Amino acid sequence: MDKLSEIMEWKRREIADRVRVVEDSELAAFGAIRPQGRFLEALQTPSGLAVISEIKRRSPSAGQIKALGASTEQAETYLSAGADCLSILTDEKYFGGNLSDLESVTQKFAQEQRGIPCLRKDFMVHPIQVVEAAQAGASAILIIVRALSDEEMKALRAAADLAGLDALYEIHSEPELERAVAHDARIIGVNNRDLAIFKTDLSFSERLIPLFPKNIIAVSESGIWTGEDARRVRAAGAKAILVGEALMKADSTSDLIRDFHQA
């Protein structure tokens, strides 16, 4: 079994006792109090490359990345450095995160009347996780195309739309791109890391992003460490990058984000 299959198998077991029927009215109640499109608009606004900065304690490929106290401290660092959006890992078993990381960040910034759109970065399989994301203050969810059936993707997207959340569709191949486009994706991210074997190669963005329909916001994810890396994927057509490990380990987060913006 490859790593992604292992993770998805675990995720389905992990949420099994939380799974229930999610009514449209429950989701729509969230949508009534939040404008949809905040995450998408934040990726469209910058004149340069948009930066989605990720709060990521550890990963199966890198092991421990950075020991964190409160996730709000790293979020503050990113916000002060000029990040356009945040990605917050909420998977505990493999990435060391949890929903409270997301909730504490969104609550802190809401109380201070500051805002930055946050992606719930997790292995989504059921609309109950969309409810949890909305309750925790997320602006977007992740849909990993290779890990889901078309019915699961349809259910997640419908739930996200009702709850006022955007959806970032993650792909790694041409057939996955075709599936995402068929589901009317507005934001598609190329994961340069093969989640089956956790090998990273920026050429995936260089090959796949030029195939995107022009109306889709292209995001390059993983393996971006320097301004030169960012320039490579921007030259391929990326409008945004999602960066975790490099920013978590950076000596100067603001300098690195500035380099990314100017790529």
Summarize pLDDT for 241-253 with one digit per residue, the tens: 999 999 988 989 9
Q: 3-14+36-261 has which fold?
A: TIM Barrel (3.20.20)
Closest to 124 (Cα-Cα) out of 7, 223, 22, 243: 7
pLDDT in tens, 224-240: 999 999 999 999 999 99
DSSP character at residue 63: E
Looking at residue 198, what is its pLDDT? 72
pLDDT of residue 211: 98
Do residues 219 and 242 touch, judged by C-beta distance below 8 A?
yes
Band (pLDDT 50/70/90 cuts) for residue 130 is very high
Whole-prediction pTM: 0.95
Arithmetic mean of pLDDT, 250-259: 92
Is the pLDDT at 149 greater than 70? The verdict is: yes
pLDDT digits (tens, 9 = 90+) for 75-114: 999 999 999 999 999 999 999 999 999 999 999 988 887 8
Give CA separation, 259 vs 83, 148, 215, 230, in Å. 12, 35, 26, 8
**Residue 30 corresponds to which amino acid?**
F
Q: How many CA atoms lie within 13 A of 112 on its CB side?
A: 12
Q: 69: pLDDT confidence band, cut at 50, 70 and 90? A: low
